[in-house]
Amino acid sequence: MADNPSTQPYRVLARKYRPSDFDSLIGQEAMVQTLSNAIALGRLAHAFILTGVRGVGKTTTARIIAKALNCIGPDGNGGATSAPCGVCENCLSITEDRHVDVMEMDAASRTGVDDIRELIDGVLYRPVSARYKVYIIDEVHMLSRNAFNALLKTLEEPPEHVKFIFATTEIRRVPVTVLSRCQRFDLRRVKFQVLVDHFTELSSKENANIAPGAIGLIARAADGSVRDGLSLLDQAIAHSGPETEISEDTVREMLGVVERVQVFDLFEYLMAGDIADALVLFGSMFEAGADSEAILQDLAELTHWLTRLKAAPDAAKATPASDLDFKRGLDLSARLPMSALTRVWQILLKGISELRIAPSACQAAEMVLVRIAYAADLPTPAEVIASLGKDMAASTDHKMDAPSEAKGSGKLAEAIGTPAPTSETAPTKQMLTTDGSTALSFETEVEPDDIGKDDKLNLPASFEDMVGLFSANSEPLLHAYLVNNVHMVKYEIGKISIRVSDGPPRDFLQNLSRRLNEWTGRAWFVEASQEEGELTLQQKREDAAAEQRAAAIAHPLVQKTLDAFPGAEVTDVRNVLERDAGLKSEDRTPTTPHDCLAGKYKDDETELISFDPDDSDEDYI
């Protein structure tokens, strides 16, 4: 009595509709064409390696190759063919995984050298019933180093009746010595529309009433993997029950994803800075079953799609997100600047990684949304600079006609309304960073102190000048101790009294005296003193830097900028004179676009408000 079909064990869709020939293998046309031509021309490699993400058909392709090589046709007289018949004994045996000459090995469970040696021993014998012995090794990257080494010689020169087919998801872990002995095929992710068409066809065969939108959700969740998509389709059919339409909402609930319209609404709330409505909508989406990480990932996907839509509308239509409301997306992308989209993308990218380590994923997601909404209200650097320029111009209108006493206050400074720099109050340079978003550069120059130096005698007129001689004459060790460990008590040309801390090098004082004698042509006497003396040059520099920083922060222009960017801080203060290495203002005529952007103008010694992206060490969000 024949078995009742209803009593047969159920086979999942991924196994039931597993391709049996090259014609039924979807999404891999380039590989199919190459293999078909190789078989037809008899140009068959002795080893193949198939690589790609999970579920794209690596092991299935390996079995199809085995059938193509060993098919004998319905009449038993056929040869190797790119279209195996599927009905001969060899084809049936390979399909049912019981052919004695086609051996499959899982390298994930058999990784040792002994397993490979057992395989190599069998290579020496001719096939029992097939044309070729075929060894299929799945997840080949899991083999140990010794196992790979044991395989190399046989893999390079196998007997004519043996073919090797390797499959791996991590091709980089396979040694290059193995790769060089194989013909490589990269199986691509199956395209979104190809998956949609395939799943629609199979749903019809299974008599499943599934909405097109639901199939689109499954195809997107499959991420290019046919097997993953079929598993989800199987789950959706079982989730809905018999004779029930599988709606988009049903699949969305099953997958834990949110409705695209809600994602659009949430994105618009965030970009408008409406954090209250955004949090309310996020809460309703979360309570409806949407995963917090899935919401952020959908926002990131929408951000990416809108960015592509703004940069290349035709290319964006072809992406898997093309089923979104294209008209709404086109309008939204037109209203948002590219800088805002890239800033949201970076915040989401960092936020998703933070979500995975946070104690509460929901709370972490809400903080990411707050960050996006807050960043949406921030003006661009160009807007801040323009606004500050107008404010400073308005506050100094009554001083425009007054003569400036500061040296080098040119017409450009008067036009913008920047306070004239002085040697006492003007900040030399401040770099302002807004917590990972941008860096603004505000520069003024100070008047240099005249260096008292006896040019006629070429003698160092001060202790600082004397220390500079050791740097100029390549004495780094002595120079370092003079800067960091020497307290000057009394300095006269020819006689120096100092206190040295922290154990100076041997014969330190004698070496100082000897070098000064050589460089200046006169005798120098250097003595050690027990008096406290002045601060070291390094301590003086640190104190000067602290005073310079305090003066920079107190500058009205910086204060206005700090008010414009809550949470910002002055991170660095630099001296323009040090950067320009003493060049005069007339020598600093702008010669490059970068110089012009930095605000360098001839006959103007003041570098006014400038935005210099190259000065920023922070990521531009």
Q: How far apart are alpha carbons 427 and 444 in whole angstroms?
A: 6
CA distance 93 to 31: 24
Closest by CA to 54, choosing from 151, 171, 168, is 168
Residue pointed to by tokens 């307290």: 487
**Burial class, 312, CB count within 10 angstroms (exposed 0-12 / middle 13-18 / buried 19+):** exposed
For residue 148, what are the contacts with CB-CB under 8 A and spacing of at least 6? Answer: 175, 177, 178
Q: In terms of CATH architecture, what is 260-377?
A: Up-down Bundle (1.20)
In this structure, what token pair is assigned to residue 508? 């330190």
Query: What mean pLDDT comes out for the span 292-297?
Result: 89
Quick one: pLDDT band at residue 257, thresholds 50, 70, 90? low
Nearest CA to 541 out of 578, 496, 495 is that of 578
Q: What phi and psi values does residue 48 have, to the nearest 5 degrees?
A: -125, 145
- The identity of residue 526, as a single letter, is V
Least confident of 319-323, 336-340, 351-355: 319-323
Query: Per this entry, what is the length of the chain?
Result: 621
Query: β-strands 495-500, 486-492: how paired?
Result: antiparallel
Give the pLDDT confidence score for residue 243 in this predicted structure.
66
SS3 613: helix
Q: Is the pLDDT of residue 370 over 90?
A: yes
SS3 for 149?
A: helix
Task: Measure the CA–CA gap between 167 and 398, rounded to whole angstroms.
Answer: 79
- Percent pLDDT > 90 in the chain is 11
| Residue matched to tokens 């199919």 | 32
Separation of alpha carbons 558 and 253, rounded Å: 52
C-beta separation of 279 from 266 below 8 A: no
Least confident span in 207-216, 240-249, 304-313, 578-587: 578-587
- What burial class does residue 263 get, using C-beta atoms within 10 Å of its C-beta: 0-12 exposed, 13-18 middle, 19+ buried? buried
String of DSSP letters for 8-21: SPP--HHHHT---S
Query: Would you kindly state where each structural domain of the chain is located, as residue ranges?
Result: 10-186, 192-255, 260-377, 408-447+545-615, 463-540
Give the model confidence (pLDDT) of 496-555 as tens digits: 888 888 777 777 888 888 888 888 888 888 888 888 888 888 888 888 888 888 888 888
pLDDT in the model for residue 309 = 86
What long-range pairs does 478-481 form, CB within 8 A, spacing at least 24? 478/505, 478/508, 478/511, 478/512, 478/515, 481/505, 481/508
Instruction: Look up residue 500 and give its amino acid.
Output: V
The reply to whether 10-186 and 260-377 are identical in fold is no
Is 137 strand, coil or helix? strand
- pTM of the predicted protein model: 0.54
Strands ordered across the beta sheet of 133-138: 102-106, 133-138, 162-168, 47-51, 183-186
Region 293-308 average pLDDT? 89
The stretch 97-114 carries a mean pLDDT of 86
User: Are 198 and 5 spatial neighbours (Cβ–Cβ below 8 Å)?
Assistant: no
Distances (CA, A) of 550 to 545, 547, 571: 9, 5, 12
Output the six-digit token pair for 388.
Answer: 């500050």
Which amino acid, one-letter code, is at 23? D
Sheet containing strand 429-433, edge to edge, reads 569-572, 429-433, 439-443, 609-610
Determine contact, residues 384/442, Cβ cutoff 8 Å: no
Alpha-carbon radius of gyration of the chain: 38
Provide the H-helix boundaries in 378-486: 381-395, 411-416, 463-472, 476-484
Q: Are 18 and 231 in contact (CB under 8 A)?
A: no
Grade residue 154 by pLDDT with cuts at 50, 70 and 90: confident
CATH topology (fold) of 10-186: Rossmann fold (3.40.50)
**pLDDT given for residue 164 in this prediction:** 93
Give the amino acid at 158. Answer: P
pLDDT of residue 367: 94
Q: Give the residue-averaged pLDDT of 120-128.
A: 87
pLDDT at 5 over 90: no
pLDDT of residue 324: 46
Residue 593 confidence (pLDDT): 33
**Residue located via tokens 């060089």:** 180
Answer whether 164's CB lies under 8 Å from 155's CB.
Answer: yes
Report how far residue 162's alpha carbon sits from residue 133's, in angstroms, rounded to the nearest whole number: 5
* CATH fold group of domain 192-255: Helicase, Ruva Protein; domain 3 (1.10.8)
The pLDDT score that the predictor gives to residue 213 is: 83
Q: How far apart are CA 345 and CA 368, in angstroms?
A: 11
Write the pLDDT tens digit of every residue in 384-402. 677 776 666 666 554 444 4
Amino acid type, 443: E
CATH 1.10.1200 holds for 463-540 = no
Closest C-alpha to 59, from 145, 170, 139, 163: 139
Does pLDDT of 345 surpass 90? yes
What is the rounded distance in angstroms from the CA atom of residue 600 to the CA atom of residue 444? 11
Q: Which two tokens stand for residue 553?
A: 């922060």
CA distance 447 to 299: 53
Which structure tokens are listed for 559? 């204060």
Instruction: Report the C-alpha gap between 370 and 273 in whole angstroms.
Output: 9
End-to-end C-alpha distance for the chain, whole angstroms: 73
